[in-house]
Structure 1
Amino acid sequence: MGKRILTYGATLVVAAVAIYGLTEFLTPVQKPKPGDCAYLTGTAGGGRYNAVDCAAPNANYVVAGTVARSESCPNPADEDWVPVRFIDPKIRFCLVPRYDEGDCYAEAGSGYDIAAVDCGADTFRVTRVSSEVPAPACATDEQTRAFPEVKLTYCIAAR
């Protein structure tokens, strides 16, 4: 009797895992709206996209918009992500990185992960984050990275 209950329990666990996996695999990525936030990880061409609340600590991108998969994002400064599963919409997500004022970030990355790093060689420092329109001017020795589609401007200082 005990062995039978154990077998039934194991079968239920396997079935639940299988149903969850199928549901996750068969649920397409929802088309985001401009201003929505996302947590994107992985490498270009194979990253994983998760819609998250903009107040979430892991929100590392803001959606600037979407275009057809065959098109480029209108702002060349945007990152982009293309869903790759056959059930996903045939679109390209145009994404703006979310940086925190005062933090340093690696100058070049190999993927979508964005994390603050120790300031040093091959990094840049975000000296100002502005959602004002028009954005205040950056200092003369700083670079401006503007994303008007989501009302976000960064002042960047080389390290």
Structure 2
Amino acid sequence: MMIDGEAGPPKTSVAKRVLTYGSTLVVAAVVIYGLTEYLTPIQKPKQGDCAYLTGAADEGRYNAVDCSAPNANYVVAGTVARSAACPNPADADWVPVRAIDPKIRFCLVPIYAEGECYDDSGSGFDITAVDCGSEGSFQVAKVSKGTSAPACPTGAEARAFPEVKLTYCVAPR
């Protein structure tokens, strides 16, 4: 019961209530997204699937992408047990690091563009073209997809990935 002259409880403005509810919803959405991302294991890819990998070799991030995507930089040659090595020593390999992920190793083939040069000494998963005059680089002279290995030009060697029917002719720069 209120006595005359006494002030009631302070009223909050509608704007303040909307802001409070809105920020609560945003925080809840971020938490739910984070938990979903962390608690959903990475799906085992199939041979021929493409990926966009970035980062250092031990901490790289794997993102499944369509093979026609401009950022696709690897194609999956297969998977093996985490404790095993990829059958083709030229394959890059990626191991999921979260405990919830499957105990497998992804065997990956880099996707190079014909005529471009790349650094052969890269320590991460990022694949970017470099100046062909760079020390330690190689140039992709030919790319053969789905057909037999091409005849490589003089001075170039074949890097074959028969699992995904992909062969590169590369020449040191």
Rg comparison, structure with higher value = 2
Matching residue of 1:102: 115
Q: Tell me the secondary structure at the aligned position of residue 33 of structure 1.
A: coil
Matching residue of 2:4: none
Q: Note the C-alpha offset of 1:151.
A: 0.3
Q: Note the C-alpha offset of 1:132.
A: 4.1
Which consecutive residues of structure 1, in runs of 5 or more, have no partner in the other structure?
none
Matched, 1:71 2:84: yes
1:29-108 aligned at under 5 Å gives the runs 29-108=42-121
Which consecutive residues of structure 2, in runs of 5 or more, have no partner in the other structure?
1-13
- Counterpart Cα distance in 1 of 2:130 and 2:154: 24
Q: TM-score, normalised by structure 2?
A: 0.89
Q: Percent identity?
A: 74
Matching residue of 1:24: 37
Matching residue of 1:148: 162
Contact 2:142 2:150 in 1 (8 A): no
Q: Tell me the secondary structure at the aligned position of residue 163 of structure 2.
A: helix
- Counterpart Cα distance in 2 of 1:135 and 1:144: 8
Matched, 1:127 2:150: no
Q: Deviations over 1:38-58 (max 9, x none)?
A: 000111111000000000000
- Counterpart Cα distance in 2 of 1:123 and 1:141: 14
The 10-residue stretch of structure 1 (125-134 or 8-17) with the greater mean CA deviation from structure 2: 125-134
Q: 1:117 aligns with which of 130, 134, 143?
A: 130
- Paired letter, 1:126: V
Q: TM-score, normalised by structure 1?
A: 0.97
- Paired letter, 2:30: V
Q: Note the C-alpha offset of 1:134.
A: 2.1
**Runs of 4+ more than 3 Å apart:** none
- Counterpart Cα distance in 2 of 1:88 and 1:99: 28
Q: Tell me the secondary structure at the aligned position of residue 156 of structure 1.
A: strand
Matching residue of 2:10: none
Q: Tell me the secondary structure at the aligned position of residue 130 of structure 2.
A: coil
Q: Deviations over 1:8-66 (max 9, x none)?
A: 11100110111111111111100000000000011111100000000000000000000
Over aligned residue pairs, what C-alpha RMSD do you find? 0.9
Count of aligned residue pairs for this structure pair: 159
Q: Tell me the secondary structure at the aligned position of residue 58 of structure 2.
A: coil
